[in-house]
Chains A and B, each alone.
Chain A
């Protein structure tokens, strides 16, 4: 059999389990992450109102630009201040 060199990186990283879903919203610290996609902020405004009505404590954070992964510092910061995150992905 001919031996080939694969262009793929066949290694896979261990699957990360989903975080446990909160049982209720009251008192929950929720960060709303605006990725700066067009009109994403408007969508988050509505979500934020609903969350606050349900008793959640909300915080808004913003990515540098929608087309790049979030900076690690921002991810760390959100991890430290939040129980849950809502991210508006696209317009």
Chain B
């Protein structure tokens, strides 16, 4: 057992000073709460110290067993909490993890000069034993004393070399200038660090430094909450959402659109909860309408569903990162999608209102043309519809509609959720030239796709088909309202697309206005 430099009068008198730390639990962490089971071991550590890592690796796996015997074990980091959690995870630490901010008031109160330093505290707040640095024999003695306090036996770490190893300076004992110099570590690859932290969807991300997040937030208040994000119900503060927008690669000018998309996605009518965890491939399509499309340079033209435009790609990605990181809906974890689709990386398009012959989506949904609005729709991946040879709007409408006949599943008729058709400009021009309104096209498409129930009965089909007379005509959609029409795409080429529905979720289309800053 080694002594430590005594700065605190309370430590000098053998009593444990109060803790000024924060952890992941909602309740404050106090000496009393940690010793409630009988006694507590505090292990002061920091990220930069190899001896701290050694101590955590040797003691970490034993903490859970000690806790069952009434001895809590807590790693007290001189690092930010998210760093502490990462280091603890990497070291196999199974005890509590708490963090203290500069100037490391708790380390100072315990008289630390170096880490790791271990303290055994009993229920009367008395410091029973302490160890500085790594000292196998002293640690075993400290653990035996903890066992005596609780009247049980406690496992001790297997002796392994080195049996003794000096610690590193506690940050509380460092000159501030020295601490700042040590904090600068230009050799680290922060891009790789993002992967190590798990702050990614699998692609490289932009590190969300405090400066970048502050720029993203602009005048927004970071603590403002949009509510819990399913499925894990992490709280979507604007600061966390801004961190997701930075990670996604958004420019600050996109953030109002990201906020609107998050607001719509978290509306209970959208049921992102079901979409986030389902085995379906469902992604969340964001359709942007109104002046903001031009203000932030969105692409509604050539390759509108593909690569090439930063705003389109990063706004959709920011929403997905919120669901995956803040909400815990990461594929393979709480997201149980069998296949998923590429739109689950990010799925954001802008409608080409200027080329469209029809009322834009947001105006159909009750907004004014000069309002900027996002509309969220749960959808499958796009399926291209090639039609270069139809010469009448009736033929083209028939081809477009029948392309969706297998949407969701071959014989799953009728669909009660929306199918989204992205109509390319050349196809839209056909309907404009013949004076077809959006509603006329929608009704024609609805009427075009039907089959007798008996031809839909093979394999999986709907209860509706099962209950129908075999000769009854069954339509692909429950009503024309399930056909959503949006115009986008390059001026040349006759390729439209249909996005099948997310079914069975009770998910509704939800819109939200973009709040101009």
Contact = CB atoms under 8 A, between A and B. Distances in A.
Interface of A: 1-14, 64-69
B80 A9 contact: no
A68 B210 contact: no
Q: What DSSP secondary structure best describes chain A's contact surface?
A: loop
A13 B24 CA distance: 8
Interface residues of B, number: 45
B244 A12 contact: no
A12 B325 contact: no
B506 A4 contact: no
A65 B197 CA distance: 35
Given A4-B208, A67-B274, A9 B235 contact: yes
A12 B185 contact: no
Interface string B76-91: 0001111101000000
Nearest to B247: A7
Given A2-B209, A13-B26, A8 B325 contact: yes
Contacts of A3: 80, 209-210
Contacts of B85: 10
Contacts of B80: 3
A66 B506 CA distance: 9
Contacts of B505: 65, 67
B239 interface: yes
B271 interface: yes
B314 to A, nearest CB: 14
Given A4-B209, A5-B239, A6-B240, A67 B25 contact: no
B199 A67 contact: no
B325 A14 contact: no
A12 B24 contact: yes
26 contacts: A1-B79, A1-B184, A2-B207, A3-B209, A3-B210, A4-B207, A4-B209, A4-B210, A4-B243, A5-B208, A5-B210, A5-B239, A6-B82, A7-B199, A7-B321, A7-B322, A8-B234, A10-B81, A10-B82, A11-B26, A12-B24, A14-B25, A64-B506, A67-B274, A67-B504, A68-B271
Contacts of A12: 24-26
A7 B244 contact: yes
A78 B326 CA distance: 31
B161 interface: no
A31 B494 CA distance: 57
A68 B273 contact: yes
B243 A5 contact: yes
A9 B328 CA distance: 9
A7 B326 contact: yes
Interface in B41-61: 47
Given A2-B209, A4-B82, A9 B240 contact: yes
A7 B318 CA distance: 11
Interface in B145-196: 183-185, 190
Contacts of A1: 47, 79, 83, 183-185
B171 to A, nearest CB: 11
B278 interface: yes
A11 B25 contact: yes
Interface centre among B82, B232, B242 (most CB of A within 10 A): B82
Interface in B81-123: 81-83, 85
B515 to A, nearest CB: 21
A9 B183 contact: no
A14 B24 CA distance: 10
Nearest to B47: A1
A2 B191 CA distance: 12
B445 interface: no
B198 to A, nearest CB: 8
Contacts of B247: 7
A1 B199 CA distance: 17
B441 interface: no
Nearest to B24: A12
Contacts of A64: 506
B297 to A, nearest CB: 25
A67 B26 contact: no
A65 B506 CA distance: 7
Nearest to A67: B274
Interface in B1-56: 24-27, 47
Nearest to B210: A3
Contacts of B243: 4-7
Given A1-B83, A3-B80, A67-B273, 9 more contacts: A1-B185, A5-B239, A7-B322, A8-B199, A11-B24, A12-B24, A12-B26, A65-B274, A68-B506
A67 B231 CA distance: 11
A47 B232 CA distance: 30
Nearest to B200: A7
Contacts of A68: 271, 273-274, 506
